[in-house]
Amino acid sequence: MLVDPEKTTAMLKPIGKSSSLKSWEGDQWEIGGGTTWGWFSYDPELNLVYYGTGNPSTWNPSQRPGDNKYSMTIMARDADTGMAKWLYQMTPHDEWDYDGINEMILVDKKFNGKDRKLLVRFDRNGFGYTLDRVTGELLVAEKFDPAVNWATHVDMETGVPQVVAKDSTGQNGEDVDTKGICPAALGSKDQQPATYSPRTGLFYVPTNHVCMNYEPFEVSYTAGQPYVGATLSMFPAPDSHGGLGNFIAWDAEKGEIVWSLPEPLSVWSGALATGGGVVFYGTLEGYLKAVDEKTGKELYRFKTPSGIIGNVNTYMHDGKQYIAVLSGIGGWAGIGMAAGLEGDTDGLGAVGAYRKLSDYTQLGGVLTVFALPN
């Protein structure tokens, strides 16, 4: 990977020589490195591209000792040369499939009274991060789902999450079913994008409120074949509202939830904040919802033909504004319904949590467009 041992930094310090190779055992890095299948953001003033890397393989952490750098990492690279300016690994030695590819939201705003160029992201591991996108300095790392239990907190000096021993699938070992880990492998938020409103300074985040049991086992690598090595089952977060999701407003400076709307199913759509003070999101039951940006009060809902995993968007045409959303259940949460799976561990564990999805919606793909009044 393209780094400069003396100039590329992690937690504001040069990464040094062979920093990634030292964190793998043998040649596992050749078949276990994190992929980059998610979102990219670009700052034209800094000429930096930001993206996240995915989980290391296998899902059995005992087969890949070490921090497995630089999987699960936010990377800032020069757009012309590709050279990494800074790196931040969110989940060293991932033991739960907390794939680190979620979107980076770039905002320029005050932080502790000073103008800063910020990068905000909501990771699958359940922590909401605020970083200085110029230097990679870690400013905030707090849980954005109250169910998160696999780590107590992130050490702000090292940037490393403090793992709870009973929830460590690596410490518990192969063929041991570690129970009650929160979040589940699909994360407190998967690839569904959050949104930001400069009106309120808040971020609006579609979240999953799901936990899991996780049993790793030894697996051999065969090119072109799935390379997983774990059996999972998922379920709603216990001791909560009983649903599988929340839609939240987040203060990225304080690292706090401002308001939260419980949902019976995960919120798997992208969110949209508007200049009119209305925030839109979709639900797996198929509702497009409009809520007040300050309070979360529901203002409007419309039932689309299928569950919504698409991103709500707005556009202008001939002087008129429209809101559009594509409905059509699918993705990880919808795999049981789409593929006719029924076992608790099917669909990499998702079927157990989302088995009742068919009670709420049906398959199909429809684009629904709304015209705003003049």
Q: Round to whole Å and give the CA distance between 98 and 101.
A: 9
Burial label, 118 (beta-carbon count in 10 A; 0-12, 13-18, 19+): buried
User: Which of 95, 60, 88, 92 shows the shortest CA–CA distance to 74?
Assistant: 88
User: Which of 243, 178, 239 shows the shortest CA–CA distance to 210?
Assistant: 243
**3-class DSSP state of 32:** helix
* Chain-centre distance for alpha carbon 364: 25
Tokens of 148: 């998160």
Cβ 288 vs Cβ 311: under 8 Å? no
**Residue 97 is among the residues annotated as catalytic for this protein:** yes
Cβ 189 vs Cβ 124: under 8 Å? yes
Eight-class DSSP state of 36 = -
- Catalytic one of 43, 67, 94, 97: 97
User: Which of 369, 328, 332, 326 shows the shortest CA–CA distance to 348?
Assistant: 332
Catalytic positions are 97
